[in-house]
Structure 1
């Protein structure tokens, strides 16, 4: 769109010269003055050059290949010797590659930061009327794609580390004895290469994602520090260009979504931890089916692997032999993650719609646009699907949204928001398919239990004590009846 309000501007406006200077300085700062393919570039090729061409590999030059590999590893410098470069995932490689994928970007202007603050402040006022959760925003900021990458990396590390580490341990523990004996001297290098491979896949996904996310919660996970609401002006400008809706309404709509997410993650203390720990739970169950590689190596002479590099290449290239297997426990963890993401998205969708429906005519169309955007997937889903076979895609957003709406209609705002009081009170996947049963349990049972489950337990115990006391009183009354005087007379 040509006229973005609140000072949001797509790249290429009247500030080109100043933006270009800032951009060049940022690019120089991020690369440390090094040229692509230099000592700090572990891949040795420039972005967009196409990288390594497998057809150019000459098996007769295996020694030269290992020599080049050694130079590559030793040339990584601080990236491999520091803590950020080692481990199951090489995050130095991931960060460098993601930064290359981002390329040039538009620096954030002061007017854009002010615009974010104004939009979030307005959205917060409207949200106050439709939820019992108070504002959770302490600061509103505008980020560039590079800032998003830097600020979100700690969360990505927490998500990826347990997965990669479990895969690495499983590989070492289950490698066939013959292969383990042969690979023993090379395990250190293979570990480094595995870390680089994970880092490469993660970096590619994050590089694409950094240019597409509109807010810090766009992928459903809390990627910004607690209490910080984030909008990315450059991505929002591109997003607005593809819609036939007023840009001002788009920005306030996105600000309201971000503010609603922040409220939920701030005032539901177990939610952030539950989302991240579910991924860790999934990772703990990872195992690898080595039957394929065992069959392939059973008749292979180790000397043949040394004399025939193509055979080694064939074994390494048989990725089907190394695919993680999914256990029932992992499937259950994945279902819980997808359901929880859907419940978060559905609650935000309903809350924002209620807050803006009388104020922004395009809220319905924008809500549907966000649904389609999430359903189509993107780099976040591709990254996780590639790394661990799981997707960050809530598959039942419509069902979750309908459940929250029906619960509000059957009760009130306090009843709906009270469900978030404890994770055990939350609906599960079956409840999304049968919302009526869940709603009847909330409304027809003890709604107060969603406000304070401990209070309900204490009330139940009090009722039991009252019933026991009543029973004792009845027994005493029976003892003091007509037969009591006769008893006293006999005693006399």
Structure 2
């Protein structure tokens, strides 16, 4: 049984997504070629700076907005497979109706995000024809990068390399730290399997979601992700949040630390981009809050501060002990207090 009607999600997302910026065919071709080249350049800079030995990558996959939607649906199907299996005993009519509703909802969310995401490292992909699961794929959304650089009024080459530095850091993390991908996947599977599927609980989750929406409209901090989780899921979500804050903050730290040597206008780009992150209409801010995007913005800041503090005080080699095992990852409290992590992990090393 399908939890989500994926075909409907794709169709809805592609229908609703806004068109990208106006560019000529030659401008589009040049942007794609440059992004692929800069992604390879960025990977070398990131490996040298982080001192993480990762596999030599393929060039980034460059997509348009509908292509990003289709790629993410592929990943969602892989991630949500455990939940699909868990719900296999639900009545068929409930599944059919519910999957179409969630398909429409997922499509609408993807349409919103597809005009904003600059790039991502896709951790979870369908198996290849041999049955092997790919290690991951770096994807860059060319229309959004072009739109952002125009909107910010920054040097296109510098901005494109700056974006590639962040996304390539994620590829280096997940290909250079052998256990990290499966750790994240295991946590996400545990989170999904902690879902409660009985009707009473589902109604309670719906009421909590409605309360979160109302709170967001009033300017509160409510978001749907936290509203619909069970108590068992909260502990798992805390671990997922901690590791994602680390990897996102590490990406932000690296893109700015490497930037001055290879991106001449990095200071201007960072200042303008930060203002862009914090801006948007009231409705845009509302949707970002509901979807947990505002939480992700905090993750960038908190994670970057954690990495910067440890590297500045203990050096890159000591910071890289964070990648030793799941036990050396910081928890959420240690992300906020880097010295607590240093006392626990570095002092015992």
On whether the aligned pair clears a TM of 0.5, the verdict is yes
State the shift of 1:129 in Å: 3.2
State the shift of 1:114 in Å: 1.9
Which of these residues, 190, 200, 203, is aligned with residue 281 of structure 1?
190
- Structure 2: how far apart are the matches of 1:430 and 1:255? 30
Structure 1 segment 184-195 matched on structure 2, within 5 A: 187-195=91-99
| Structure 1 segments unaligned to the other structure (5+ residues) | 1-85, 173-186, 295-317, 447-492
Structure 1 segment 353-372 matched on structure 2, within 5 A: 353-367=256-270
State the shift of 1:109 in Å: 4.5
Which of these residues, 158, 164, 177, is aligned with residue 268 of structure 1?
177
Q: Which residue of 1 aligns with 2:71?
A: 151
Does residue 290 of structure 1 match 2:191? no
Higher relative contact order at CA 8 Å, sep ≥6: structure 1 or structure 2? 2
- Structure 2: how far apart are the matches of 1:383 and 1:354? 28
| Residues 255 and 293 of structure 1: CA distance in aligned 2, closer, same or farther (over 3 Å) | closer
Q: Which residue of 2 aligns with 1:435?
A: 338
- Structure 1: how far apart are the matches of 2:200 and 2:255? 49
Say how many residue pairs are matched: 316
Structure 1 segment 22-33 matched on structure 2, within 5 A: none
Determine which structure has more spread, i.e. the larger CA radius of gyration.
Answer: 1
- Structure 2: how far apart are the matches of 1:372 and 1:275? 31
| Kept after mapping to 2: 8 A contact 1:126/1:356 | no
Which of these residues, 53, 56, 59, is aligned with residue 134 of structure 1?
53
1:201-229 alpha-carbon deviations (Å, 9 max, x no partner): 11111122223221133xxx636764643
Which of these residues, 207, 210, 227, is aligned with residue 320 of structure 1?
207
Q: Which residue of 1 aligns with 2:43?
A: 124
- Structure 2: how far apart are the matches of 1:359 and 1:393? 27
| Kept after mapping to 2: 8 A contact 1:205/1:383 | no
| Kept after mapping to 2: 8 A contact 1:338/1:393 | no
Q: Which residue of 1 aligns with 2:123?
A: 222
| Kept after mapping to 1: 8 A contact 2:163/2:255 | no
State the shift of 1:115 in Å: 0.7
Q: Which residue of 1 aligns with 2:222?
A: none
1:126-167 alpha-carbon deviations (Å, 9 max, x no partner): 324311113542223321222222333221113344456657
| Kept after mapping to 1: 8 A contact 2:46/2:172 | no
- Structure 2: how far apart are the matches of 1:128 and 1:90? 40
| Kept after mapping to 1: 8 A contact 2:206/2:228 | no
| Residues 190 and 352 of structure 1: CA distance in aligned 2, closer, same or farther (over 3 Å) | same
Q: Which residue of 1 aligns with 2:3?
A: 88
1:405-429 alpha-carbon deviations (Å, 9 max, x no partner): 2221233322212321211111111
1:242 alignment partner, SS class: helix
| Residues 114 and 376 of structure 1: CA distance in aligned 2, closer, same or farther (over 3 Å) | same
- Structure 1: how far apart are the matches of 2:245 and 2:199? 31
- Structure 2: how far apart are the matches of 1:325 and 1:134? 39
| Residues 409 and 442 of structure 1: CA distance in aligned 2, closer, same or farther (over 3 Å) | farther
| Residues 383 and 410 of structure 1: CA distance in aligned 2, closer, same or farther (over 3 Å) | closer
1:216 alignment partner, SS class: strand
What is the TM-score when the length of structure 2 is the normalising length? 0.76
State the shift of 1:286 in Å: 2.1
1:319-374 alpha-carbon deviations (Å, 9 max, x no partner): 53998864332111111122111100111112222211234344245445656666
Does residue 97 of structure 1 match 2:1? no
1:418-454 alpha-carbon deviations (Å, 9 max, x no partner): 32121111111111222112223344331xxxxxxxx
| Kept after mapping to 1: 8 A contact 2:47/2:172 | no
- Structure 1: how far apart are the matches of 2:276 and 2:232? 30
State the shift of 1:253 in Å: 0.3
